[in-house]
Amino acid sequence: MSRSIQGKITVLGIRARKGAPGKQDKLVVLTAYDYPTARALDQSGIDILLVGDSLGMVVLGHDTTLPVTLEVMLHHTAAVARARPRALVVADMPFLSYHTGPADAVRHAGRFLQEAGAEAVKVEGGRSRADIVRAIVAADIPVMGHIGLTPQAVNALGGYRVQGKTLSQVDALLADARALEQAGVFALVLEGIPARVGALVTQAVSVPTIGIGAGPECDGQVLVTHDLLGFTSTAPARFVRRYADLNAAIVDAGRRFAEDVRGGSYPSERESYPAPPELEAELDTRLAPEAVTEPRR
Ligand code: KIV
> Residues 260-269: pLDDT tens digits?
999 999 999 9
Query: What pLDDT score does 44 carry?
Result: 98
Q: How far, in Å, CA of 122 to CA of 136, rounded?
A: 11
Least Cα distance to 87 among 225, 213, 212 occurs for: 225
Rg (Cα) of the chain, in Å, rounded? 25
| Mutation to probe ligand 1, out of 29, 30, 31 (largest number of atoms < 8 A from CB) | 31
Query: What pLDDT score does 22 carry?
Result: 66
pLDDT grade, residue 6 (50/70/90)? confident
Q: How far, in Å, CA of 211 to CA of 6, rounded?
A: 27
**Host H or E run for residue 243:** none
Whole-number average pLDDT of the chain: 95
Helix/strand/coil (H/E/C) assignment for every residue in 166-206? CHHHHHHHHHHHHHHHHHCCCEEEEECCCHHHHHHHHHHCC
> What one-character-per-residue DSSP string does 102-160 give?
HHHHHHHHHHHHHTT--SEEEEEBSGGGHHHHHHHHHTT--EEEEEES-GGGHHHHTSS
Which atom of ligand 1 is closest in space to residue 29's alpha carbon? 7
Q: How far, in Å, CA of 240 to CA of 74, rounded?
A: 27
Least Cα distance to 72 among 60, 81, 61 occurs for: 60
State the sign of the Cα–Cα–Cα–Cα dihedral 169, 161, 124, 14.
negative
Catalytic residues: 191
Residues 130-181: tens digit of each pLDDT: 999 999 999 999 999 999 999 999 999 999 999 999 999 999 999 999 999 9
Nearest residue by C-alpha to atom 2 in ligand 1: 52
Q: Is the pLDDT of residue 21 over 80?
A: no
Q: Is the pLDDT of residue 294 over 80?
A: no
Q: How far, in Å, CA of 217 to CA of 243, rounded?
A: 21
Q: What percent of the chain has pLDDT over 70?
A: 95
Nearest residue by C-alpha to atom 3 in ligand 1: 52
Instruction: Say how many Å lie between the CA of residue 169 and the centre of ligand 1.
Output: 21
Q: How far, in Å, CA of 138 to CA of 129, rounded?
A: 14
**Amino acid at residue number 272:** S
Kindly state the DSSP code that residue 274 receives in the 8-state scheme. Answer: P
- Spatial CB neighbours of 294, under 8 Å, sequence gap ≥ 6: none
Query: What pLDDT score does 251 carry?
Result: 97
